[in-house]
Structure 1
Amino acid sequence: MRIVFEDEPLDLEQPIWRYSKTDRFLDFVKTGHIYFAAARQFQDPFEGAVAVMPPGFPVDPRYAELEYGDWAFEELRRLTKINCWHRAQYESDAMWQLYAGAWKGVAILSTPSRIAAAAEQFRLQPQYGHEDLWAGNVRYVDLLKDRLRVSTLHRFLYKHAAFS
């Protein structure tokens, strides 16, 4: 497992929690695979964004159609797979309600080191090299005020402050 932010150490033994609905957990038990969602599957419409326009702000018609860079980013959002965990010493009532179907789900307790040890190498195709498993702490920024100037990998570890 590789760490995204080299300037911010990640405690590989810190407890992390994954809250999910029962059917997702049963699928994990049956297959042995943890589900990774595409970046564009999240409810957060700003997932991977580098800036956010204020609500009701008029859109400049020159930007109405996607250009190559925009299209490439949408493909990146489709291809980037994410699995989120909650870093805490104890269970979280808010996380139960948000992700486990109002206490009708399952919470998995683990550590980053245990996940790294259990993860098998993944290849999109047999002839390709293996995909790296990346980990990092999410950073929250006010995307209404700031524009991120980060790599395509890093932009998925930043979230709009409204989601903190």
Structure 2
Amino acid sequence: MFVENAEIALTSDPNMIIWKYLDLSKFVDLLLYRKLFMSRSDKFEDQYEGTFSEPTYEEIKKLAEYKPGFLDYYKAQRKKVVISSWHINEYESFAMWQIFTQRNEGLAIQTTLGRLQQALAANEEYVQHIGEVNYIDYKKEHIPFENPYFPFLFKRKSFQYEREIRVITDVSPYGLEIDNGLKIEIDIETLIDCIYIHPKSENWYKNLVIELVRRLGFDFRVEKSDLESDILI
């Protein structure tokens, strides 16, 4: 279930457009099992995921002198928190196509913040929180630690191009040992507004995706990316 957290910053606009870029195998897995994959936070490429900026770390070290195990708690949390990342953008992103898809055969799910929240509400097994990522200078700026989710909602300025919204779940209360990630049930029909096909893909690939969606019992709108549309000159 999706639970609002007043301390986590999030736009109130339910019509804000968000995207998930992925390859065909991950897309099929999503439709076939009707489950959203959430990656363990310490498995992301960025080694700073779930860690603190230098000013915050210095502050925590002082607290740890009086509270043994304080630092160990935060280190352990990186293995207990799972994340699903989404890209905020009114339009397609050429950079996201390049980074998250390969061999011209990827696709992108377009939805809205409101649809994502409604789709997550169908899950009663785990509690999810949604927040916007803040991009800061880790050498100078402070990351608050009053809320255990805050370390996972800050990234270095080098990643600003991601414009990320995150679905976050802490599996600690469930006594789970997570390997690479966790799949959670989600209302697929509510989640997906439209599917966009890689701009460099061939027509047969678009037809394949359309047929695949149909055979799995869905009727989502499937569009070819317009980043490779004909030049009007």
1:58-77 aligned at under 5 Å gives the runs: 68-77=69-78
Partner of 2:138: 143
Query: Which stretch has the larger CA shift, 87-96 or 2-11?
Result: 2-11
TM-score, length-normalised on structure 1? 0.77
Given that 2:10 and 2:130 are in contact with CA atoms closer than 8 Å, whether structure 1 keeps it comes out as no
1:31-42 aligned at under 5 Å gives the runs: 31-42=33-44
SS of the residue corresponding to residue 85 of structure 1 reads: strand
SS of the residue corresponding to residue 95 of structure 2 reads: helix
Asked which structure has the greater CA Rg, the reply is 2
Partner of 1:93: 94
SS of the residue corresponding to residue 35 of structure 1 reads: strand
Given that 2:144 and 2:150 are in contact with CA atoms closer than 8 Å, whether structure 1 keeps it comes out as no
Given that 2:134 and 2:154 are in contact with CA atoms closer than 8 Å, whether structure 1 keeps it comes out as yes
Aligned mates of 1:21, 1:42 — CA distance in 2: 17
1:1-164 aligned at under 5 Å gives the runs: 1=2, 2-3=4-5, 5=7, 9-52=11-54, 68-101=69-102, 103-119=104-120, 120-123=122-125, 131-150=126-145, 151-164=147-160
Gaps of 5+ in 2: 56-67, 161-233
Query: Which stretch has the larger CA shift, 31-40 or 94-103?
Result: 94-103
Shift of 1:35: 0.7
TM-score, length-normalised on structure 2? 0.56
Gaps of 5+ in 1: 54-66, 124-130
1:162 aligned partner, one-letter code: S
Shift of 1:9: 3.0
Shift of 1:122: 4.2
Greater fraction strand: 2
Q: Deviations over 1:132-152 (max 9, x none)?
A: 221121110000222323322
Aligned mates of 2:5, 2:103 — CA distance in 1: 32
The alignment-based identity, stated in percent, is: 25
Structure having greater relative contact order (Cα 8 Å, sep ≥ 6): 1
Greater fraction helix: 2
